Amino acid sequence: MKQRRTSLSSCRLPVNVVIDRRRLNHNSNLEDSDMVHLTILHREHPCLSTSTQPVDPSPSALSRYHAHVRRLTGSISSCPADQVNNSGPIIANGVPWDYFSYVTQIQLGTPGRTHSVLIDTGSSFPWIMCKSCKEGCDKQADPLFDPAASSTYKQIRCGSSLCTIIPEATMTRNTCFWYFQSCTYNNKYEDNSTSKGIASFDRLMYAKGNMMEAFLFGCTTSFSGIGGQYSGIIGLSANSLSFFSQVSIGRYKAMSFCLPHPQKTGYLKFGLYEEMDGMQFSPMFKDGNNYYTHITNIMVGNDTLYFPPGLGENNTMRCFIDTGTPYTMLPDQLFQNLSNAVENNIKGFYRLHAWAGQTCFQREILWNEEDTDIPAIMIMFEGNATIKLVAEDLWFREDSGLLCLAFKKGAGGDVVLGSRHMMTTHIVIDLEKSAMGLLDHGCA
C-alpha cells in the first residue's frame, strides 16, 4: 500500500534551548543557559520527507557500508513524537548503511532555509548540497541551498588560513593555485562516495535564539554515492572544523545525545549536561578525529566472551563510537565467539550458514513461540558502564521466522559500536573531562 507523505513544511522539528538547573555539571564558569538542544529523528520518522525512501537491499549497499566502517577503523514548528511509520521489512542480508541513520534540521542563510542533515560522530567536515550542484544532487528531498538567495553567504578564498586546514577535516588535499581563487574541498570516502564543492561561510540558526554568523561548511557542487536524499552532513568528530567544534566555541566542550526508536524523537545537546541518576563514566580517548573508550567484557546470557589473545591491551578492547554505522563490528575471532555463544543459549531457533560476515537464525517449525528463549547480551565498559541488549535490540528481522544478529565481522582489531546498539542509550561525550558517559535505556 502506498504510504502517505508528510511534508516538512507542516512538520518542523522543535529546536529549543533546554535548561535543567538541577544537576548540571558546574565544573566550568559558563552559564546554565549555555546548554543547546536539537531534536533528532530516525530516518524513517514520519516527520522527515526521507521516510518514504525505499530500503536498498542490494549487495552493493552492504559493500558500501563495509567501506564506511573501514574508513573509521582504518584512520584510527512541532513534530508528532509517536506517529508510527511502517516502512516495510528490514533486509537482513544487505541492510543499507543509512537505515539506522539519524537526522536533525538546521536553518542556513539569510533568510534562513531549513535543511535536513545527517548527524555522524565519525565525520568531520559539514557540508550542504547547493543549488549550483551539477551532479548527484537530484535525489534530495529538501530544496537545495541557494547561495545567491542568501545575503550573508561568503566563499572562502585560497589565501585564507582556514583554507589550509580544511584538508585536516576532509583527509584530502584541496586544489588552490591562486590567492583569490575560491577554496575548494573534496570529501572522498573509501566507498568512493564523494562530496566536492566550495568552502563557505553563512549564518546558521541551530536552535531557538542561537545563531552563528560565520558557520564554515562545504557548499556541495558535486555528489556521488549513497545518502543523496539528505541535504548534507553535520560531523560531530573531534576535528576543529566539525559542527560539534564550531558550536562548542565559547561553551563547555561536551555533547550528549539519544538515538531514538524510529517512531520517537531524540535529542542532541551541546554544552552543559545533566548527570542523570545511574549514569557511569568511562575514560575517553581520541585516535585522530575519532572517539573511543574501552570494553572490559561482553556477556551472552551467563557466558563471558574472553577476548582472543593479541587483541586489545590489559584485557580490554578499544571501542569506537560511530552513529554512521548501523551494525556493531567485532574482530573476527570475537565475532565467532559471540555467534557461538548466542547459538548455545538461544532456544527455538537454529543457526544458518553465515554470509557476508553475518550470523542468522531460523525459527524451528515445531517450536512453540511461548517457549522461545533469546539471551541478553551485556557490553561492559571501563568505569562500570554497561549496555544491555535484550531480544528486540539484537536483531535485524527479515520476516517472522528469520533473525540476523546486528553484529558483523569487522576487518580490524577494534570494536565499533553501531547506531542500532546505541538506540535509546543516553550518551555523553565530554572533551573537557576526557570522559564518555553511558546510561542504558536512559531515553525513549
Q: Are 254 and 417 in contact (CB under 8 A)?
A: no
Q: Please pick, among 142, 191, 322, 414, the residue that the annotation labels catalytic.
A: 322
Q: Which residues contact 362 (CB under 8 A, 6 or more apart)?
A: 349, 350, 352, 401, 402
Q: Is 82 a catalytic residue?
A: no
Q: Please pick, among 98, 120, 414, 430, the residue that the annotation labels catalytic.
A: 120
The number of C-alpha atoms within 13 Å of 166 and in the hemisphere containing its C-beta is 30
Q: C-alpha cell of 110?
A: 539569510
Q: Is 120 a catalytic residue?
A: yes
Give the span between the Cα atoms of 100 and 406, in whole angstroms: 11
Q: 3-state class of 148 per DSSP?
A: helix
* CB-CB neighbours of 250 under 10 Å: 9
Burial code (b: 16+ CB inside 10 Å, e: under 16) for 369-406 equals eeeeebbebbbbbbbebbbebeeebbbbebeeebbbbb
Pairing mode, strands 127-129 and 232-235? antiparallel
Opening angle at CA 153, ends 149 and 158, nearest 5: 135
In Å, how far are 175, 309, 420 from 381, measured between CA atoms? 43, 19, 18
User: Which residues are the active-site residues?
Assistant: 120, 322
